[in-house]
Structure 1
Amino acid sequence: MTPTERRASASLAAVFASRMLGLFLVLPVFALEAARYPGGTDVALVGLAMGIYGLTQGLLQIPFGMASDRFGRKRIIVLGLVIFAAGSFVAAAADSLWMLMLGRALQGAGAVSAAVTALLADQTRDEVRTKAMALVGASIGLMFAVSLVAAPAGAARIGLAGLFAITGGLALGCIVIVAWWTPPAPAQHRNAPRGRLADVLNHGPLLRLDVGVFILYAVQLAMWVAVPAMLVQAGLAKDAHWKVYLPTVLASFLVMGFTLFPLERRGYLRAVFLVSIGIVLFVQVGFLAVAGQPGLVALTVLLFLFFCAFNVLEASQPSMASRIAPAHLRGTALGVYNTLQSLGLFAGGAVGGWLAKNVGIQGLFGVCAALMAVWLAVAWPMRAPRAAKTVEILADDAQAT
């Protein structure tokens, strides 16, 4: 990577990590701590308060992405972070479940994922973009692992309000990073003509990736409707689940680093992409097979395989979307991509819960396996995008020196 690419990758990964740490700190303890608020005994309202973040996030990803194409990435990112911070402080000050819900909705309204990803794509060449996206994905996964350990201890000391206050402070720190550390958008992207949403919706390869990210995140969240209970059934206490999650997540990062990047450089990105989809399909079939009598070793192996494949897909999909989309459509294209990602999370939670209740976890994993088979069929005709012969970022570095 060039100095500009390293600075962009590190700063924007820090933005993602700080923002996601704030969110992840809340999730493991939200349902338990929300019961302390007036109205918190209503399980349906607690679930709505948790999920409304994903709903507002999904609704606003496309507008924020389009706005970043028109008004500039950094301006829109800062605006979204301000909204996210405001929602965090509203939730911290909440004295009822309804006010907590309002804070969560405002947090989701700061939908900057598409703009941040588009800015990272603007500032990296095609041949190193997957590595940059993987750095972001790894930072998010690491924050998830950290939150599993830190959230219960933090909630015991400062409560849910304190965790939300930390979330707001992290968002303000992200504004500082974007304003003073992240490089500005390259001139050729600032001055490019602006496209239309219809151009993205009529783009076949982008739509294949959008279908894929919806299925991936729907399956991921649906899995977590059943996996914690299976771990308990296998003999692992709830407060010890991190002993499985943390090592499997960290080990999967190592596997990704030693497989994805070398194979991509050799021209095998499509093969790695399709194999990763196949591995997630295999994992769903594996969970289906052990659902009746889960063993801890089997569950650990299946989770390790899932995280290995998920991390590869998490890094390669947005990289491919940013490379397939024309530069003047990146914000809009990634807005659609992130919208489908958020809607996948929403659908996975809602439908996964319904399936687990009405057809059991075998039926849940059967549906997840079928969805992964559909994705494999949709993705099969895709070809890995070729690296563009771009020199603008190198020229910017030369001018800076």
Structure 2
Amino acid sequence: MMNALERRSTFALSSIFALRMLGLFMIIPVFSVAGQSYQYATPTLIGLAVGVYGLTQAILQIPFSLIADRYSRKPLVVLGLLLFALGGAIAAMSETIYGVIIGRAIAGGGAVSAVVMALLADVTREEQRTKAMAMMGMSIGLSFVIAFSAGPWLTGLVGISGLFWVTTIMGLVAIAMLLLVPKVTRYHRNFQQGYLLQLKQVLKMGDLNRLHLSVFTLHLLLTAMFIYAPPQLIEYAGLPLSSHGWVYLPLLVLSLFFAFPSIILAEKYRKMRGIFLTAIGGIILGLIVMIFGFESKYILLIGLGLFFIAFNVMEALLPSWLSKAAPIQSKATAMGVNASSQFLGAFFGGMIGGQLLLLNNTAMGWSILTAVAIIWLLMSFGLAQPRYLSSMVFRLPEAKQTDEWTSQLLAIHGIEEVVVMSEQQVAYIKVDKQQIDDAARQQLTHLLGKEVAI
């Protein structure tokens, strides 16, 4: 079970993630219409204003994450959120479409998704990591549904410029939420190398690349589905666009009842690879149902439900698996590459979804998405079961210097990382139990001042 510190930090960091996503998503369902009111607006420039955020996110995730592996993560999160708030303010004050594009590009420059996830990994024990990442994934899904429901309503109240001001306020509130997260100092066996070598090391790891491909494909399918499915909900299910949020919300809630047991199986019984492949199979099954049943309201909803259940299981498993597979000294870098893959997937998903609408063959469109998912499944069979570390929680020794104490711990074979929260006088010690022998246990007992059962 999560301790109080983990619950507080997970709530705060999930809220930061959700507030940023709300600011992004609320614009999407309204800007194609509301954007026409800006000077010099054309359909191409309106599309650029929506999409440029994701492009700058994809470009800057890796630089932010490379720096986050060398320095404190919290100041980088603050910088990213300030850029997000500034971009919203510039867009809110703009009268031309070019001003909005500049504002959205600056907001996207706050590319700290990977840094937030790495910080969450720092402040949660290995055994609670999947649960924490699941809560973050659920907050993202919920923010998506709320945004698509609230965006048109808020625009009617405060106008499109007011909606951009709301995103600025969300960015500032997110900075305040960071106060709930403890100050963290990380200690590990630091293999000093240049930024380029660090990035090359991450990009050479086969399983990491399969996870990057997975998040790319997952968000490609999600974005394409959200473009492709709404016209079918209107035509075949008789649901107006304004009611679609009330379709997605129950499906999201329903998916939670399947996602959390899957996460427990994956973590507690070390079945992560099996659950992962099963979730891809669930996505494929949902898409196949929609190939043959899109003309029926209830079969269409069943297909969407299967898709959502599998999506939310994947959304929880991917960050957790990534944090296990990534080199400890390059955790944020690996998450940065993964986040860039996610945003690129969403970008290409939007392009593909638009092209599918031009097909005038609904079954063919769902078949194309199914084929993409099948290729993803075949490429994922090469994934190996992730390495499982364990975390121990200890009070910091009062009589010893922290740096010296952590250096002595890291000299013990089997100790992978020590995360110190000095204000709380607590340390998380990450251990590979398979590497710990009797000599290591004796050294640990001496350093920690009490018998250690591993």
Shorter chain as normaliser: what TM range?
Answer: over 0.9
* SS state at 2:37 partner: coil
After superposition, the Cα gap between the structure-2 partners of 1:359 and 1:208, relative to the gap in structure 1 and judged at 3 Å, is farther
Distance 1:392 1:329, change over 3 A: farther
Contact 1:320–1:384 (Cα < 8 Å) also in 2: no
What is the aligned counterpart of 2:253 among 250, 253, 276? Answer: 250
CA shift for structure 1 position 169: 0.9
The answer for the alignment partner of 2:206 in structure 1 is: 204
Distance 2:190 2:77 in 1: 19
4+ long deviations beyond 4 Å:
392-398
Question: Tell me, what secondary structure is at the counterpart of 1:391?
Answer: strand
1:120–1:94 distance in 2 versus 1, CA, 3 Å: same
The residue aligned with 1:349 is: 350
Return closer, same or farther for 1:371/1:281 CA change in 2, 3 Å cut-off.
same
Match of 2:267 in 1: 264
- In structure 1, C-alpha distance between the alignment counterparts of 2:78 and 2:319, rounded to whole Å: 21
Report the TM-score, using the length of structure 1 for normalisation. 0.93
* Counterpart-to-counterpart distance in 1, 2:212 and 2:165: 34
Asked whether the 8 Å contact 1:70–1:194 carries over to 2, the reply is no
Alignment of 1:233-248 (within 5 A): 233-234=235-236, 235-248=238-251
Residue 143 (str. 1) matches residue 143 (str. 2): yes
The residue number in structure 2 matching 1:278 is: 281
Helix, strand or coil: the match of 1:187?
A: strand
Provide the C-alpha distance between the structure 1 equivalents of 2:242 and 2:356, rounded to a whole number of angstroms: 26
Distance, in Å, in 1 between the alignment partners of 2:369 and 2:161 is: 36
Cα distance between partner residues in 2 of 1:43 and 1:316: 38
Residue identity over aligned pairs, in percent, reads 38
SS at match of 2:83: helix
- Residue of structure 1 equivalent to 2:109: 109
Using structure 2 for the length normalisation, give the TM-score.
0.83
The structural deviation recorded for 1:394 is: 7.1
Shift of 1:384: 2.9
What SS does the aligned partner of 1:119 have?
Answer: helix
Shift of 1:166: 1.1
Deviation string 1:223-247 (CA, Å, 9 cap, x unpaired) is 1221001011112122222221111
Aligned partner of 2:355: which letter? W
Residue 307 of structure 2: aligned partner: 306
State the shift of 1:367 in Å: 2.1
Q: 1:392: how far off?
A: 5.7
Structure 1: which amino acid aligns with 2:131? K
Q: Which moved more, 1:389-398 or 1:65-74?
A: 389-398
Q: CA deviation at 1:194?
A: 5.0
The residue number in structure 2 matching 1:231 is 233
Equivalent residue for 1:66? 66
Residues in 2 aligned to 1:229 and 1:327: alpha-carbon distance in whole angstroms: 45
C-alpha displacement of 1:98: 1.2
Other structure's SS at 1:267 match: coil
- How far 1:359 sits from its partner (Å)? 6.9
User: Tell me, what secondary structure is at the counterpart of 1:184?
Assistant: coil
The aligned residue for residue 435 of structure 2 is none
Q: Secondary structure at the match of 1:188?
A: strand
Give yes or no for contact 1:356–1:363 (8 Å, CA) kept in 2. no
Q: Secondary structure at the match of 1:390?
A: strand
Secondary structure of 1:110's counterpart equals coil
Deviation at 1:192, TM superposition (A): 3.8
Task: Output aligned runs, 1:125-136, within 5 Å.
Answer: 125-136=125-136
> Where is the strand percentage greater, Structure 1 or Structure 2?
2
Aligned-partner Cα distance in 2 for 1:308–1:299: 14
8 Å contact from structure 1 (residues 92, 162) kept in 2: yes
* Stretch moving more, 48-57 or 252-261: 252-261
Letter in 2 for 1:259: S
Distance in 1, matches of 2:390 and 2:269, equals 17
Within the alignment, does 1:288 sit opposite 2:287 as a pair?
no
SS at match of 2:425: helix
The Cα shift of 1:313 comes to: 0.4
Aligned residue in 2 for 1:332:
333
Larger deviation, residues 97-106 vs 281-290: 281-290
Which shifted more, 354-363 or 252-261?
A: 354-363
Q: Which has the larger radius of gyration?
A: 2
Shift of 1:193: 4.2
Q: Which moved more, 1:386-395 or 1:196-205?
A: 386-395
Q: CA separation in 1, counterparts of 2:139 and 2:192?
A: 31
Cα separation, 1, equivalents of 2:89 and 2:58: 21
Q: Which runs of 5+ in 1 are unaligned?
A: none
Cα offset for 1:386?
A: 3.2
C-alpha displacement of 1:290: 2.9
The question of whether the paired residues in 1 share the 8 Å contact of 2:56 and 2:105 is answered with yes
**Structure 1 counterpart of 2:433:** none
Asked if 2 retains the 8 angstrom alpha-carbon contact of 1:124 and 1:393, the reply is: no
Q: Which amino acid aligns with 2:186?
A: A
Q: Is the 1:65–1:332 Cα contact (8 Å) retained in structure 2?
A: yes
> Equivalent residues in 2 for 1:14-163 (5 A)?
14-40=15-41, 42-163=42-163
Tell me the equivalent position of 1:164: 164
In structure 1, the residue matched to 2:441 is none
Greater relative CO, 1 or 2 (CA 8 Å, sep 6+): 1
The count of corresponding residues between Structure 1 and Structure 2 is 396
Cα displacement string for residues 44-70 of structure 1 (whole angstroms, at most 9, x for unaligned residues): 221111111111110111011111112
CA distance in structure 2 between the partners assigned to 1:224 and 1:325 by the alignment: 31
Tell me if 1:181 matches 2:180.
yes
Compared CA separation, residues 83 and 242, structure 1 to 2 (3 A)? same
Among candidates 416, 419, 425, match of residue 399 of structure 1: 425
> Is 1:5–1:124's contact at 8 Å kept on the other side of the alignment?
yes
Aligned-partner Cα distance in 1 for 2:293–2:40: 38
Preserved CA contact (<8 Å) 2:19 2:174 = yes
* Structure showing the higher helix proportion among its residues: 1
The one-letter code matched in structure 1 to 2:229 is V
Q: Distance in 2 between matches of 1:194 and 1:154?
A: 49
Deviation at 1:279, TM superposition (A): 0.8
